[in-house]
Amino acid sequence: MVKRFETIALIGKYQSPDVAEDVLHIAAFLRERGHVVLIEQGTASSIGVAGGFPVASYDGIGASADLALVLGGDGTMLNTARRLAEHGVPLVGVNQGRVGFLTDISRDQAIPRLSEMLDGRYSEENRVMLSAEILRGGERVYQTLAFNDVVVNKGELGRMIEFDVSIDDDFVYTQRSDGMVVTTPTGSTAYALSANGPILHPSIGAIALVPLCPHALTARPVTLPDTCRIDIKLLSPHDARVHFDGQTRFDARAGDCVRITRSPYAIRLLHPENYSYFAMLREKLNWSAVPRLP
């Protein structure tokens, strides 16, 4: 039996009026099919018009939507995922960004691919998230979620920082470096990839630690079970900046502990029929390309 998505929300690229035409075009298409359509309020504000469709906050979408269509790039999907994580709303991405690891429907194929998916021709997968908190003197001073990664780095300092890393209270090492990327399988093709981290298949229950320019030739990425608790404690006199999906941040002080665990929330991603993770990697990373001759 085909699952019926009665109410569908549209979420566009943040503060981008460029998505207006596509948002309204897809909204009209959905209404013709008999779906209730919601426009996320920030998207409605950015495009300057909601076309007569109801406007809803993220909380409103989480409470009433059966599906959310995200029009933008990976950044838009990351933000949406964090905002809707606790609600369990499945997400579909229409790529209007540059790379699009998470938004796998091309803009020019949006209507035919969405038609197929709404008719039940799609695959679904769950992607893990990270829960991160900053502890200061043993007290929590900040907490948030990350879909891609948590990055501890030197911020605007022109020198390396120093920190202790422990896994489940088991001391691993003291590291001097520009910082550390703690990544989910989803985030393994983002910042961590640039730092020579491993690509982790989304179905793997793993978290990777990827050092940023470590001051040691033997410091290498480490892949851990996602049941681990990771503690990164800043050593005096080093302050640091902690980034979450590259979109939110917290300025940590010497002595603070960044604690990272797998979140109890998971992101439900829907893909078009015949979606292939390896085909996506082959396209986005330009694998198997024939070298150009001079």
Q: Is 261 within 8 Å of 134 (Cβ atoms)?
A: no
| φ, ψ of residue 98 in degrees (nearest 5) | -100, -60
Closest by CA to 205, choosing from 181, 228, 180, is: 228
Largest CA distance in the chain: 61
Can you state the angle between helices 110-118 and 20-32, rounded to 10 degrees?
30
The single-letter DSSP state of residue 80 is H
Kindly name the residue from 74, 149, 178, 231 that is annotated as catalytic: 74
* DSSP conformational letter for 22: H
74 catalytically annotated: yes
Cβ–Cβ < 8 Å for 17, 48? yes
Separation CA 149–CA 169 (nearest Å): 21
Parallel, antiparallel, or unpaired: how do β-strands 179-183 and 206-212 relate?
A: antiparallel
- Cβ density class 109-118: b for 16+ within 10 Å, e for less: ebeebbeebb
Q: How many Cα atoms are found within 13 Å in the side-chain-facing hemisphere of 137?
A: 1
What burial class does residue 283 get, using C-beta atoms within 10 Å of its C-beta: 0-12 exposed, 13-18 middle, 19+ buried? middle
Phi then psi for 56, rounded to 5 degrees?
-140, 150
**Alpha helices of the chain — where are they, by DSSP H?**
20-32, 41-47, 58-64, 74-84, 110-118, 191-194, 277-284
Catalytic residues: 74
